[in-house]
Amino acid sequence: MGFWRNAEVRRALLWHLTAAGILTAAAFALGGRKAGWLVLAAGLVMTCISMLTTWLRYRRIARLAGEIDTLLHTGCEIGFAGQTEGELAVLETEIRKMTLRLREQSERLTVEKQYLADSLADVSHQLRTPLTSMHLLVSLLQEPGVSAERRSTLLQELHGLLSRIDWLVTALLKLSKLDADVVNMRQDPVELQKLLHDACEPLQIAAELREQTLSVKAQGSFTGDAEWTGEAIGNIVKNCMEHTPAGGRITINAQENPLYSEILIEDTGTGIDRADLPHIFERFYKGAHSSESSYGIGLALARTIITRQGGTVKAENVPDGGARFTIRFYKGAV
């Protein structure tokens, strides 16, 4: 019944019958009774064939519409069985592709939504610890009779916690920009010596206070963003400094060859625990030897910056002790 409720079907049937009637009348007038009956029979047969073909096409469209409705309401997949040739089959295939693509996008949005929820939970957890300590320090400062020396110590601890929160918020903002793909990485020729010098210069004083030796040796260049790459290298060097004892060394060697530009960062520290190696670049991951002040975000930021420029970064242990980070920026043409 739904087939005959279609206005286009009724209109097509009316045109077929009208044309058959006109041709039949003409045949009776010009060719006699036999010609008239013959034209009438041919017109009726052609009308029936046209309606049958239209009905089969209508049924296929109705089946496809039902499958799409099932997909939208139940999530069941649409199969590709029973495909034939023809324009309708092409349309059916394209609709199936579109529904599959929409489903993939929906699943991707679900994954991203869960990732956002997990990230917010991690950020909340990372901020809660220093904020709790700050509340405690403020309470201690408000106690009556606090000596000047004690007040100075508490204020220094409070300042340190504020600096940690400031660094965390800044790093998270940088990560969010990279995740949102709103950062335009520059593609400039950068001298490796200048890149490493600028990245390590702010860390020289901290290395001296830790009684550590920070040495740089580089030659060649690479094509990329000097500012963001310096941020990544600085985070890796900071990680090496945290895991290197007093009297240890952090060495950085960089060189260029016809295939890639390579930066090797090595330390003489405790190395990386074998269980931590697969997860060391994950966000908020803290290894077995991580310090209390570590957030587990510096290496994740470094990897994101490097991979966004088409580079790779690998962490491993040095046979003689310590950790090694290998950064490579491959060239587009050899």
Examine the domain organization and report whether 48 and 120 are in the same domain. Answer: no
Domain stop point among 103, 129, 152 = 103
241 inside domain? yes
With beta carbons less than 8 A apart as the criterion, state whether 326 and 252 touch.
no
Could you give phi then psi for residue 221, rounded to 5 degrees?
-150, 175
Output 282 or 230, whichever has higher pLDDT.
Answer: 230
Domain range holding 125?
104-179
Percent of the chain with pLDDT over 70: 89
Examine the domain organization and report whether 266 and 312 are in the same domain. Answer: yes
pLDDT digits (tens, 9 = 90+) for 168-216: 788 878 877 887 778 888 899 999 999 999 999 988 988 898 899 999 9
How many structural domains are present in the chain?
3
1 inside domain? no
Is residue 62 pLDDT above 60, yes or no? yes
Examine the domain organization and report whether 192 and 169 are in the same domain. Answer: no
Examine the domain organization and report whether 228 and 308 are in the same domain. Answer: yes
Is residue 276 pLDDT above 90, yes or no? no
Average confidence (pLDDT) over 108-122: 76
Examine the domain organization and report whether 231 and 152 are in the same domain. Answer: no
314 inside domain? yes
Average confidence (pLDDT) over 249-261: 93
- Residue 325: per-residue pLDDT: 95
Domain stop point among 76, 103, 130 = 103
Q: What's the distance, CA 320 to chain centroid?
A: 37
Residue 82 is given by DSSP the state T
Question: CA 280, 282, 284: angle at the middle one, nearest 5?
Answer: 100
Q: CB-based contacts of 198: which residues, under 8 Å, 6+ apart?
A: 226, 230
- Residue 30: per-residue pLDDT: 84
Domain stop point among 154, 179, 204 = 179
Is residue 334 pLDDT above 50, yes or no? no
Does the pTM surpass 0.75? The reply is no
45 inside domain? yes
Examine the domain organization and report whether 115 and 236 are in the same domain. Answer: no
Examine the domain organization and report whether 192 and 322 are in the same domain. Answer: yes
Instruction: Sort strands 249-256 and 188-191 into parallel, antiparallel or unpaired.
Output: unpaired
Is residue 262 pLDDT above 90, yes or no? yes
Examine the domain organization and report whether 127 and 138 are in the same domain. Answer: yes
pLDDT digits (tens, 9 = 90+) for 73-113: 766 655 544 556 666 677 777 777 777 787 788 888 888 78
CATH code: domain of residue 122 = 1.10.287
Examine the domain organization and report whether 226 and 303 are in the same domain. Answer: yes
313 inside domain? yes
Output 219 or 96, whichever has higher pLDDT.
Answer: 219
2 inside domain? no
pLDDT digits (tens, 9 = 90+) for 280-322: 888 777 766 665 556 678 898 899 999 999 999 999 998 888 8
Nearest to 161 by CA among 144, 136, 180, 188: 136
151 inside domain? yes
CATH code: domain of residue 249 = 3.30.565.10
- Residue 80: per-residue pLDDT: 47
